[in-house]
Amino acid sequence: MSQSYQLITDSAALLAFCQQAQQAQFLAVDTEFVRTRTYYAKLGLVQVQADEVIALIDPIALQANRTDDGLTPLWDLFADPQKTLVIHAGGEDYEILNLHMGTLPNAIFDTQIASAMLGEGDALGYAAMIEQRLGVELDKSQSRTDWMQRPLAPEQLDYAAADVLYLSQVYPQLLKQAEEQGKLDLILQESAWQAEKRAQQIPDTWLFLHFGNAWQCNPEQLSVLRELVAWRVERARNADLPLGFIAKDHVLLDIARRMPSSKSQLHGIKELSSVTVRYAGEQMLEAIRRGQDNGPLELKLQRINDIRGYKVLFNKIKALAQDVANELAIPAALVASRRQINDVLHWCVQIPSQAQHELPLPDLFASWRGAKLRASIEALINESD
């Protein structure tokens, strides 16, 4: 890589860079993190290009001997509504930024979203975008590297710097095209919405409504499943462990349906870790008893395809989405994917009204999609009742 970078490991250097970066028109941003054995992602590196300066910011070094994460000047910079953050496919970046910043950046331009809106490929990867636009083939050898190790090797740092070097070169091209095609506002709205989704919190008590195959449970089993799902996520957060380390989804479903009443019965559940039973078996049994004591839920979930009139409703919503796509001159899949249509049907037909008031809106009812589609979709649902 031809461009040099600055590795920032102390507060004075970080503050100086952030003050300098205030003058830049935009910031190209990426993060490197590890999330293999933890519930929360561990931030290993933050890469920023501001004008011609690339900074590789080491949060591990900056956090040493501090009570905070040592990155406050950077988070303040990112939160500046006058400063556009250019990110590619920022889903997990948004999640980790929200975790550390306590808020989301105010102005985001996601280059994957822009590429899709401009008709250049849905879910285009960073390397593919750079090769397509700049003719540069990126080195992918460090894509699965351990970003928590120290010191970081030169090849790791080169790889990380390349993520923002070429991003800053592609952004002006995409920005110009977006303005020429009249799609800039749409790209910014979608970028903001995708970031907002990563910051949304589903109340623990309603997590079971989005649990795969929950429809296999009868109302009594659903009551138990609700308690088990809430217990699992609370334990995962407190122990900072992945959900699957505590109990995989199909195991939790099996427990809810069988409702074991003792540790010995828990040990009989196939694929349930003996470690989980040993250290959390009593808590799990308490969750099962709570669900039983609460009684059957006044709710019967169905497999989405079994909802009355599903196929007709699905096709009508798909047609509405196609009309919006034609109006906006974007691919129909960017307006409403199969999953997004299923999500909105699940919401309208199966989510209780109390839960609707406490849950985030489905995609097709939120942001620019909601403005275009919500009233029409609700009318379709009401007509089908």
Q: List CB contacts of 42: < 8 A, sequence separation 6 or more.
A: 33, 34, 35, 148
From the candidates 95, 110, 163, 343, give the one annotated as an active-site residue. Answer: 163
Q: What is the pLDDT of residue 141?
A: 82
Say if residue 224's pLDDT is above 60.
Answer: yes
Identify the residue with better confidence: 233 or 144.
233
pLDDT bracket for residue 3 (50, 70, 90): low
Choosing from 5, 32, 94, 95, the catalytic residue is 32
Q: For this structure, is 93 an active site residue?
A: yes
Statement: residue 326 has pLDDT above 60 = yes
Which of the two residues, 270 and 261, has the higher pLDDT score?
261
Q: What are phi and psi for residue 55, nearest 5 degrees?
A: -115, 130
Domains of the chain: 5-199 (3.30.420.10), 204-294 (1.10.150.80), 304-383 (1.10.150.80)
159 is catalytic: yes
Query: Is 5 one of the annotated active-site residues of the chain?
Result: no
> Average pLDDT for residues 97-124, to the nearest whole number?
93
For all residues of the chain together, what is the average pLDDT? 95
pLDDT (0 to 100) of residue 93: 94
Query: Does 91 have pLDDT greater than 50?
Result: yes
Beta carbons within 8 Å of 72's beta carbon, 6+ residues apart: none
Q: Is the dihedral of CA 25, 117, 362, 126 positive or negative?
A: negative
Task: Convert the pLDDT of each residue in 120-148 to its tens digit.
Answer: 988 899 999 999 999 999 988 887 889 99
User: Average pLDDT for residues 225-250, to the nearest whole number?
Assistant: 96
**Catalytic residue, candidates 5, 30, 126, 166:** 30
pTM of the model: 0.93
279 is catalytic: no
Fill in the amino acid letter for 185.
Answer: D
- 323 in catalytic set: no
Report the pLDDT averaged over residues 364-381.
98
Percent of the chain with pLDDT over 90: 92
Whether the predicted pLDDT of 1 surpasses 50 = no
Q: How many residues does the chain have?
A: 385
Which pLDDT belongs to residue 139?
85
Catalytic annotation, pick one of 94, 126, 159, 171:
159
pLDDT at residue 239, as a whole number: 94
One-letter amino acid for residue 264 of the chain: S
pLDDT of res. 232: 98
